Chains A and B, each alone.
Chain A
Amino acid sequence: MMRTIEIFLVIIIITAAFIISSLFAVLPSPRQVSPLNLQRLALTTLQTLDDDYCLSETIFEPDYASSWSKLKIALSACLPPNIVYNLTAYEVSMSGPQLYTPTMSISNAESLGTSSDSASYLTASSNVTFNFTPEKIGEQGEGGTLYLLNCSDSNGWWITGYTAQSLAADLYNLLSPYFKATAIVQNTTQLGQILDGNPLQNESLQHAVIINTFGEAVPIPENYADAYDSNSYAEYCYQLGRRVHRYNWTWVSIVGYPLYYVSNTGYFTGSGDHNTWGIYGMKHVGAGGLNAFLSGLDNQMYSYDGDWITGSPGVVHLSSEALYYCNYYGIYPAQYQTATRALPSSVTSTYDLTISTYIIDPVDNWNAGAVYHHAVNGTFLALGLTRIPDIRLTALSLLSDYKPRLYRSEYTASGTSRLVVLQLGQAGGI
């Protein structure tokens, strides 16, 4: 008898356990089990209403009665009948303890039911224009001069479809706001002037940036052509490297094999003075030009080395750093590029260089786009991509390395933006 009583006691205990666990195991209501995503619905409703900026106009409309009445009609028209809403517009204020001050609110129900969700949307006044002021390179220190080679007496190579002059004009538009001074080098005589250490006007020569817009060719002044013609003008490239080192310049090669030809249409006038591809006024330097330039940059003694040093890694990708600066500066070249003249990583040890910025991710020790700083003086930006050059990539590379800041004229949304919050709830049901 005792065992039966004990069993009944056990049953009572288990029953109690079941009842207690059932009390805690509360199942959600059907609406919670399969909820409508009200947050997304609210957001897409606001986006739809603002598709042609109607919502923004309404929010800033001084004639509240008429425009808000239309907004109310539109809200009722586009939301499902069982959805109740409350739309509130907030003024963004910087003064006072409250950041957001409600300015207007409309609703089609007294309450939004037991559960609701909301989405916010920032509208901007149509009277506001957002702009920015870039920090000038060289403003806080030395340098700040941008030289764009625009020599009218030279021809370019591997810039098919463009001229050096059109590329210089594009670069001027893209980069001049970021430099303290921009100088256009109009001919090889002016180039010789700066190579001799004489500024064109009053610009600072030291720490300048020189962009060679002639692709694989480089303009050569007459006196330099006379003086440095050994080894097919490779010595001239060596002198360029020396100048980059001496004045702490940044030399920019925008495409292809750097310094592969020299060009001066007034000097190279012979019938054989062409690059073998039909471009006259040009002389073939070959691979020795780059080697000579790098040895000059490293302040080594001149000796001719005609070895081809670049590689062809094929399709390459912008680095994560470059992608970040694409968004920061609003310059968007293609993320995929083709590299056939990428420099080997070994140049860093051979010529005492350090890579400060990777524009393009390295592939198997080939750097298709990087900025090389010499340990003492001088910088070399080489974009070893195949033709045709994308000049935006050059601009992005320089900006990624110098990193000038952008000062937005409007850091605050006060008075120019209003926050709209649409809260939705479901009417009826449980």
Chain B
Amino acid sequence: MSLSRNLSITLICLILGVMLSWQYKSIQNNKKVASSQAGTLYTLQEELLAEKTKNENLRARNQELEEQVSKYINAEGNNKKIEESLMEEIQRSRTLAGLNDVVGPGVEIVVDDGDYSNVMDTHLLVLINEIRASEAQAISINGERIVAMSEIKMTNERTSPHIIVINGRQMQAPFVVKVIADPDKLSNSLNMLEGIVDRLRDYYGLEITVKKMDKIEIPKVHDDGSVLKYNLLNPV
């Protein structure tokens, strides 16, 4: 009698133990699966968003091309008109490449050495990148047009002021950065609290002024073969 009772209690305890451990494991597992799924969900959402903006931009480009093609179709037989359209397109590509002098509204930024610090290549790199992020259409530094392959190089860190090379030309502070862009939008994003102007002024100790302009003229890149090199590029 007492043996069977003991036996049954032992059995029940055994089952209980197994269940407990199983329970623990299953809950732990559920948690892990849930958190990894939430992570996957998040990255997928991000990827989808990125892909959608990409496609929007592609769509815009495609529409632009379709309009160009229909321009040529409509002008069939009219040689003068076709030549005009072609010239227009050449000009647009040249403008984008930085091969035309251009004028438009924008902002003039002057960056100068502070009392204790000098302008470095990275300061200018970050500034130009911020300017591009505010949809700038043309940029020059001390008269050098910033094109796709323009480098910003510091020759020697020990000289004061630093010597900076842009498009192969040496220059020193002050740096006059001319930008054609929406003046309000650009100056707002540059002057933002903790923005690039704040950082260069307060954190790096440089002098910097931003001035909105109705009309800014930006010269074309030197087209003497010293800046624009494309001898190693084969069109596909």
Partners in one complex: no
Q: Which B residues contact A (CB, under 8 angstroms)?
A: none
